[in-house]
Amino acid sequence: MSRALRNENGGQPVNGDARSLIAASGLPLQSQLLIAQVVKRTRLWKREKAAITAELIAHFHDGLEAGNSVEELIAAFGNPRTTAQLMRRSKKRNRPLWWRGARRILQGVGIILVLYVGQMVILLTGHPKPKIDYAARLCEKSETIAQADRAWPIYRQAWLLDPPLHIDWKPGPVRSNRSLIDSHPGDPKWNQAIALVQQHRPLVEAARAGGMKPGLGITIRQRRGFEETQYRAIFPLRSSGPVVSPWQMGEMDCPETGAIVEMVKLLMIDLRWAATQNDPARVVQDYRAITGMFRQIREVPTLIGQLLVVIYLARTDQALAEVIVQNPDLLSQKQYIELLHTIPSARDAINVSAESSRAEMDDLIQRMYTDDDCGDGRLTREGVEYFFRSEWTRDQPPKPSVASALTLPLLSAGIASRREMTQVVREQYDLLDRTFNRTLRQSLTPVPDEVTQHVQTMRGSLLTSLHYWPLSVNIPQFTGAGKDLHIARATHDAVIVGLALESYRLANGGYPQALDALVPHYLAAVPLDPLANQPLLYTLRDGHPVIYARGREGVDHGGVRPKTTAGYGDIPETGDWVLYPPVEEAAKQ
Amino acid sequence: MRVEKELMRGAGPMAVMQLLSGGERYGYELVESLAKRSSGVLAMGQSTLYPLLYNLEAKGLITSRVDDTGKRPRRYYRLTDKGKRRLSHNTKQWKSLLDAMQGLGFGPAAEEGVA
């Protein structure tokens, strides 16, 4: 008995259980039952129960010895249920600190868990209800093109017959390092480039035929149903399967662009090759087909497609200018006129708008959030699904996963609201459009780049990246695009003037004294110098035409290219910006 | 006369600590003393006393030990140093409160007046 009554606070263990203590107490049965009832209801640890039992037993013995009856003692005892509750509470306060701390933590976790599950249930009831079919809007133009006017069936057939192709395109600054598409006769890669054109003759033929078609005629709906093998053949650069689901961000991605750009590269090589083979008709045909393909790429005006057109059109213009400067008598006057009819329309392709990319982001938002019809909404499980997908161009809509349900409240707390996300998208694309619309002089001014700053705000830390996810990782920057646009336009304008001058020479036996002589028979107007906003300048050097702009300082140096000029797109700090002939050919003269 | 629960909440622990200031006591002894010395006003059963003792023990105001030298083991409670300081502090407060209540007309003189 005494062993059972050791003080647990004093470090003396209390052994034995409450039941055996009561049985051995010798107390009247009623009091034993009462003690047993109270102790049982305390639901305390075994040793705590034993301590209480011993104390109550002693209490009853003391009461009986003092002359009280058992009935009196029971009456004075109080309510057994209340006693058990009070004892339980007070005994628990005596438990060790670690136990009380762990209990508090568990209670806190429990409360958080209940709130989390409650929030999860609320959020799981919300679903996105997209109202605008942005993809259909984007493909509106393609839908209206007549079957006979569509280029895509021609391209597709050729791609299915041809082996996969991806041509190295990165431009090297020196002759020995030039890429395949920029290589000239005599360059180390020239024979390799020619072999490539010969190897992919079906694609070259398809490009020439398709490039003359008014439209591309491929829509998102038409992509559906491609078999994987066919898809891989047509889109060799793509790592993932066909874009077929209306529930994915990559919906507006246009993989056809990649396939067409490969064909453009082949024709760029062929254009130079045709000149060496003294085949002017092929030069004209290749150039016209290339500009036709650029127009087709812009039919579904993705941002990346538009930027690719700007880059490759400038390089095609460079190639054409080099051919003309090298062989001014290669083309007949009729062929020059034919090109002069083609080339101004191609200038329309040197234009970039972020509208499609903006639509893509707006589309993503409407597929991520619910819509309260007031511009706001809650994050949905469908939206969170994007978080767990490494690729967004798989062939099936995201299946609801346990992970998305479990993380929904957490991500909902971390990711911006629909209203905030919409606002951020609007700001970002307004800045981007402003960048695209800056003048060349503005683009050359070293000012803080607002677009980059805005993106950096989103990517400032892991938390902000999460807050603005997925915009923070996917929103485009292209801060240099504004300058590239102006340079491409100026290059293109100089080629137009060059063609007009050669056409004039063939008709009149010599170059004119001033560009005004070309207007209106060869040119509608003399194109403007984008820096000075005045007509481009012209001079003859060693009997060859030189077309130039005034350069950054705005002074006419007589068409002399500074020796430090690096190449295409290099606008010198001092001296003229010579646009025609291209740098390479001028060096030979 | 039994004191209402709300009043006992403050007075009960104070009374128990006051009893323990005279030396260590076991449970039944405390029950008996409270009933006799307060003329039954502060009488409390086990349902109140033992939780009250455990609470005071949890706060470190009292401590206990088991004495098994007698014919029956008993748990004795006594004040700790912290408990003594608290009792001293509370005693001053109680005296201030009683003075204030007397000033308001409570106390023996007032009862005589009513009678």
Task: Give yes or no for residue A447 having a pLDDT over 50.
Answer: yes
**Can you tell me the mean pLDDT for A71-79?**
88
Distances (CA, A) of A9 to A2, A94, A190, A192: 16, 8, 94, 91
More confident: A243 or A192:
A192
More confident: A83 or B114:
A83
Task: Give yes or no for residue A221 having a pLDDT over 60.
Answer: no
Task: Give yes or no for residue A1 having a pLDDT over 80.
Answer: no
State how far residue A83 is from chain B, nearest Cα, in angstroms. Answer: 4
Question: How many CB atoms neighbour CB B113 within 10 A?
Answer: 8
More confident: A2 or A351:
A351
**pLDDT range class, residue A345, cuts 50, 70, 90:** confident
Question: Which pLDDT score, from 0 to 100, does residue A422 have?
Answer: 94
Distances (CA, A) of A24 to A41, A57, A400: 20, 10, 63
- Mean pLDDT (chain A) is 84
Write out the DSSP string of A315-365. HHHHHHHHHHHH-TTTS-HHHHHHHHHHHHHHGGGS----HHHHHHHHHHH
Question: Which pLDDT score, from 0 to 100, does residue A169 have?
Answer: 65
State how far residue A111 is from chain B, nearest Cα, in angstroms. Answer: 26
Question: Which pLDDT score, from 0 to 100, does residue A561 have?
Answer: 81
**pLDDT range class, residue A15, cuts 50, 70, 90:** very low
Q: A23-32, A157-166, A244-253, A442-451: which range is least confident on average?
A: A244-253
**Can you tell me the mean pLDDT for A320-341?**
93
Which DSSP state fits A562? Answer: P
Question: Which pLDDT score, from 0 to 100, does residue B41 have?
Answer: 80
Does the distance separating the beta carbons of B28 and A90 come in below 8 Å?
no
Question: Which pLDDT score, from 0 to 100, does residue A395 have?
Answer: 46
User: Scanning every residue of chain A, which has its alpha carbon at the shortest distance from the alpha carbon of B69?
Assistant: A2
d(C-alpha B74, C-alpha B66), whole Å: 6
Contacts of A76 in chain B (CB under 8 A): 31, 45-46
Task: Give yes or no for residue A52 having a pLDDT over 70.
Answer: yes
Locate tokens 């030039």: which residue? A178
Nearest in space to A287 (alpha carbons), one of A264, A261, A262: A264
d(C-alpha B26, C-alpha B60), whole Å: 17
State how far residue B111 is from chain A, nearest Cα, in angstroms. Answer: 31
d(C-alpha A441, C-alpha A531), whole Å: 6
Per residue in A127-144, pLDDT tens? Answer: 888 888 877 787 788 888
State residue A259 phi and psi, 5-degree precision: -65, -40
d(C-alpha A292, C-alpha A346), whole Å: 8
User: Scanning every residue of chain A, which has its alpha carbon at the shortest distance from the alpha carbon of B72?
Assistant: A58
Question: Which pLDDT score, from 0 to 100, does residue A243 have?
Answer: 45
CB B45 within 8 A of CB A82: no
More confident: A587 or B72:
B72
More confident: B105 or A321:
A321
d(C-alpha A53, C-alpha A522), whole Å: 115
Strands A528-529 and A537-541: unpaired
Per residue in B62-89, pLDDT tens? Answer: 999 998 888 788 899 999 999 999 999 9
More confident: B8 or B74:
B74
Point out the residue among A55, A63, A77 whose CB comes nearest to the CB of B47: A77
Does the distance separating the beta carbons of A86 and B66 come in below 8 Å?
no
Does the distance separating the beta carbons of A82 and B64 come in below 8 Å?
no
Locate tokens 């020196």: which residue? A174
CB A7 within 8 A of CB A47: no
State how far residue B15 is from chain A, nearest Cα, in angstroms. Answer: 18
More confident: A171 or B44:
B44
Q: Between vectors from CA A390 to CA A388 and to CA A393, what angle results, nearest 5°? A: 110
d(C-alpha A571, C-alpha A530), whole Å: 11
Instruction: For residue A20, give every residue at least 6 positions away whose Cβ sits within 8 Å of its Cβ, in sequence order, or none.
Output: A4
Task: Give yes or no for residue A209 having a pLDDT over 70.
Answer: yes
Question: Which pLDDT score, from 0 to 100, does residue A129 have?
Answer: 87
Task: Give yes or no for residue A236 having a pLDDT over 70.
Answer: no
Does the distance separating the beta carbons of B27 and A59 come in below 8 Å?
yes
Q: Between vectors from CA A39 to CA A34 and to CA A45, what angle results, nearest 5°? A: 170
More confident: A234 or B112:
A234
For chain B, which residues lie within 8 Å of any Cβ of chain A, measuring from their own Cβ? 26-29, 31-32, 45-48, 50-55, 57-58, 63-66, 68, 72-75
Point out the residue among B26, B47, B66 whose CB comes nearest to the CB of A7: B66
Q: A160-164, A273-277, A530-534, B37-41: which range is least confident on average?
A: A160-164
Nearest in space to A302 (alpha carbons), one of A226, A244, A382, A360: A360
**pLDDT range class, residue A88, cuts 50, 70, 90:** very high
Instruction: For residue A380, give every residue at least 6 positions away whose Cβ sits within 8 Å of its Cβ, in sequence order, or none.
Output: A123, A126, A127, A128, A368, A369, A370, A408
Question: Which pLDDT score, from 0 to 100, does residue A385 have?
Answer: 79
Contacts of B29 in chain A (CB under 8 A): 62
State how far residue A23 is from chain B, nearest Cα, in angstroms. Answer: 15
Question: Which pLDDT score, from 0 to 100, does residue A554 have?
Answer: 85
Q: How far is CA A86 from the centre of its chain?
A: 63
Question: Which pLDDT score, from 0 to 100, does residue B20 have?
Answer: 96
d(C-alpha A182, C-alpha A265), whole Å: 9
**Can you tell me the mean pLDDT for A195-224?**
86
Q: A21-35, A153-167, A298-312: which range is least confident on average?
A: A153-167
User: What is the 3-class SS of A154-216, one letter each residue?
Assistant: HHHHHHHHCCCCCCCCCCCCCHHHCCHHHCCCCCCCHHHHHHHHHHCHHHHHHHHHHHCCCEC
Contacts of A67 in chain B (CB under 8 A): none
CB A461 within 8 A of CB A469: no
More confident: A162 or B113:
A162
Q: A211-215, A257-261, A382-386: which range is least confident on average?
A: A382-386
Q: How far is CA B92 from the centre of its chain?
A: 15
d(C-alpha B20, C-alpha A554), whole Å: 103
Cα atoms found within 13 Å of the Cα of residue B78, Cβ hemisphere only? 9
d(C-alpha A384, C-alpha A276), whole Å: 57
Does the distance separating the beta carbons of A10 and B50 come in below 8 Å?
no
State how far residue B97 is from chain A, nearest Cα, in angstroms. Answer: 28
Contacts of A77 in chain B (CB under 8 A): 45-47
CB A537 within 8 A of CB A550: yes
d(C-alpha A340, C-alpha A318), whole Å: 16
To probe the interface with A, which of B55, B63, B66 has the most A CB atoms within 10 Å?
Answer: B66
To probe the interface with B, which of A6, A12, A55 has the most B CB atoms within 10 Å?
Answer: A55
Contacts of A80 in chain B (CB under 8 A): 47
State how far residue A420 is from chain B, nearest Cα, in angstroms. Answer: 52
Contacts of B9 in chain A (CB under 8 A): none
Task: Give yes or no for residue B3 having a pLDDT over 90.
Answer: no
Distances (CA, A) of A522 to A128, A220, A241, A500, B74: 57, 41, 49, 5, 121
Percentage with pLDDT > 90 across chain B = 49
Question: Which pLDDT score, from 0 to 100, does residue B113 have?
Answer: 46
User: Scanning every residue of chain B, which has its alpha carbon at the shortest distance from the alpha carbon of A14?
Assistant: B66
**pLDDT range class, residue B109, cuts 50, 70, 90:** low
**pLDDT range class, residue A13, cuts 50, 70, 90:** very low
**pLDDT range class, residue A473, cuts 50, 70, 90:** confident
Percentage with pLDDT > 70 across chain A = 85
**pLDDT range class, residue A235, cuts 50, 70, 90:** low
Task: Give yes or no for residue A393 having a pLDDT over 50.
Answer: no
Question: Which pLDDT score, from 0 to 100, does residue A475 have?
Answer: 75
- As to burial, measured by CB atoms within 10 angstroms (0-12 exposed, 13-18 middle, 19+ buried), residue A500 is buried
State residue A153 phi and psi, 5-degree precision: -60, -35
Does the distance separating the beta carbons of A58 and B74 come in below 8 Å?
yes
pTM given for the model? 0.70
More confident: A433 or B109:
A433
More confident: A173 or A89:
A89
Contacts of B48 in chain A (CB under 8 A): 78, 86
**Can you tell me the mean pLDDT for A89-109?**
94
User: Scanning every residue of chain B, which has its alpha carbon at the shortest distance from the alpha carbon of A76?
Assistant: B45
Write out the DSSP string of A29-68. HHHHHHHHHHHHHH---HHHHHHHHHHHHHHHHHHHHTT-
d(C-alpha B9, C-alpha B51), whole Å: 12
Nearest in space to A386 (alpha carbons), one of A369, A398, A394: A398
CB A295 within 8 A of CB A149: no
